[in-house]
A and B are shown apart, each in its own frame.
Chain A
């Protein structure tokens, strides 16, 4: 009996340990909500205390961002330059990976432990802005914003929330089609012609498949199909997915047409089979083994990721593809926006110095040259000029910016850009890709789920 009791105690303690595993997150989070509150109230007081004494302050700040090696090195270098010019100031860089970055950031923001200067995905930003007062209005700081395009930074997606500049865009980005000209010429397809249509892409895909069943026109996964095919096409049909009041605009008929197109992509081998794509989730598209082997003709990607894709297969001869449209489109569909925002958090220990750093980061010519295009095409005209003069921006990227800006479109609304809405679309595209759902069923399903999101 004694042993049985011992076993029971052991089991009880195991269960307890398990519960701790389940619940610990909510505890840190519950405890931290109050911490964030106090931090938020104390921040303005601190700001008031420090404002007034300009010049050489002593401060110790943290700057968090995600990115690849090149961006990390350039950013660290700019931090060093700033610290050299400002003795007494220490800025600690916290580079990370984009994987799980915003999940971690969400916890840090609620617990008041986020870095002082933080890089944020502009599509995740609305969720944060809605859930709390975490960010400093940069208009109240010393940052000189005159070199930015005022219309550009006035858009919500680029950091302007109800007149408050809660973040500054780090660059100009948007969808682009990176075409490997060597491969395109070999198969005899032209993805660079003016006035290209969505159907032209299907035909080009068929042409490639008929010559080599192992080769696909586009290197994409379900996430890229949603962001670069489904959403642009849906916006061309409907103007926007949800309107500014959060009402669903997209109709089931239009979405059915879009999903029929997705089915055609898979059925005609314009894109690789869904089971193949499932190995490369999310942003992991550049590690697609077949892209690295040069087996695709083109990669629909973003202006900010073109360099990464080109580095994946450096032997390609790259040109900018054109962006398609339907007839009588209500919207360009391909919105340009910044790939990241930089913000100062309300818990920042020295907002003045943080603002001084961001001013240096965006406006100083040495910093502009050091940063180059590591955060996409720079947002300020002065930095763009420097990059073009130094030849840092490749021709294919410049061309893509021109194509993108000419087409343009409405950025994703707050609901569509949420993880929840995106996941609904990813699941639908996956269902179609695996042949588990018909486009009609998938569209009906998505619309009913979107209506749930809209009525909230």
Chain B
């Protein structure tokens, strides 16, 4: 959408234009085959009862009607997915900001400390780390053993419907590195003069943070929140590997529902419908965020 509006139509194409297009071809081919084609096919499938290896019969809106009215897991999965986003996105961004502010200083060895904090993000989405998380938090795992050693009661982190989702969210929040690096870069370019001016006017630390730091880094903050929202609403690996959606479906995010319908029951049409609902949910949140951005995101060239 944004792209078409930026391009003005021309009557004649110069050689230079064609050359530009030539350079774009690899990307265009990749986009068409790897993104546009699946995008359209999944939409087509979502109106059919296509099963893997079976034939394709169009069933109109049946999949969507079934999802909204008869699927016993859909509303729960939608709720779990939204909760997942609600826990992880603020948690991750706030933690990233706090750590970024802590690391935004010039002391010896700060480079090493920054690297250390970034390491968890390098494992992002890996199955190994999710398995490790499961081993740490399961009944009789290291967390429970440590709690028992210092006299705390043991908890069934992954076996209790109330704790399982927050425990998985912790893993996601722990991988705050990429947001942190961006926020750190943003903090570094906040002009020092602004702080000095505030100090002269007698502004305290809180005032400086709230009226200088936040507005100055708001574009990056906005980008982080947007990025994380899109990412976390489609999370699959951690809940699938750690709890397989259980206990009692308390971590059964839309991604798992989609995966099971598509790859365990081979119902590709139905799975495509779920993926489109997921897409629309993410679209709504993205648009909402964009809608609010004009109230709090501050761009230097707009003043």
Contacts and interface: CB of A to CB of B under 8 A. Distances in A.
Interface of A: 1-5, 7-12, 14-27, 29-30, 33, 36, 103, 106-107, 109-110, 127-128, 131-132, 273-279, 281-282, 289-290, 418-420, 423, 427, 430-431, 434, 436
Contact of A103 (B161, B263, B268, B272): B263
A289 B39 CA distance: 45
A148 B222 CA distance: 68
Contact of B52 (A1, A3, A20, A106): A106
| Chain B contact patch, size range | 35 or more
Contacts of A9: 2-3
Given A22-B278, A110-B52, A275-B247, A2 B301 contact: yes
Given A12-B1, A16-B35, A131-B52, A430 B247 contact: yes
B159 A19 contact: no
B33 to A, nearest CB: 8
The 10 closest A-B pairs by CB, nearest first: A275-B159, A23-B38, A131-B53, A27-B38, A279-B138, A23-B42, A22-B275, A132-B53, A275-B156, A278-B159
A19 B230 CA distance: 11
From B54, B159, B222, B226, name the one whose CB has the most chain A CB atoms within 10 angstroms. Answer: B159
A132 B53 CA distance: 6
A23 B39 contact: yes
Interface string B237-263: 000000110111100000000101011
B128 to A, nearest CB: 13
Contacts of A431: 248
A5 B6 contact: yes
A274 B159 contact: yes
Contacts of A419: 260, 264-265
Contact of B39 (A19, A127, A132): A19
B209 interface: no
Interface string B206-248: 0000000000000100110011001000100000000110111
A73 B279 CA distance: 45
Contacts of B278: 22
Main secondary structure on chain A at its contact with chain B?
A: helix
Given A2-B301, A17-B35, A281-B246, 13 more contacts: A7-B222, A7-B293, A15-B282, A19-B38, A19-B279, A26-B42, A36-B53, A106-B52, A107-B52, A278-B159, A419-B260, A420-B265, A430-B248
Nearest to A431: B248
A72 B7 CA distance: 59
B53 A3 contact: no
Nearest to B155: A275
Main secondary structure on chain B at its contact with chain A?
A: helix
Interface of B: 1-3, 6, 31, 33-35, 37-39, 41-42, 45, 51-54, 134, 138-140, 156, 158-161, 219, 222-223, 226-227, 230, 234, 243-244, 246-249, 258, 260, 262-266, 268, 271-272, 275, 278-279, 282-283, 286, 290, 293, 299-302
From A7, A274, A434, name the one whose CB has the most chain B CB atoms within 10 angstroms. Answer: A7
Contacts of A436: 248
Nearest to B160: A275
Contacts of A17: 35
A24 B226 CA distance: 23
19 contacts: A2-B301, A5-B6, A12-B1, A19-B39, A20-B34, A25-B38, A26-B41, A30-B45, A103-B264, A110-B53, A128-B53, A275-B156, A276-B139, A276-B156, A276-B159, A278-B158, A427-B249, A431-B248, A434-B247
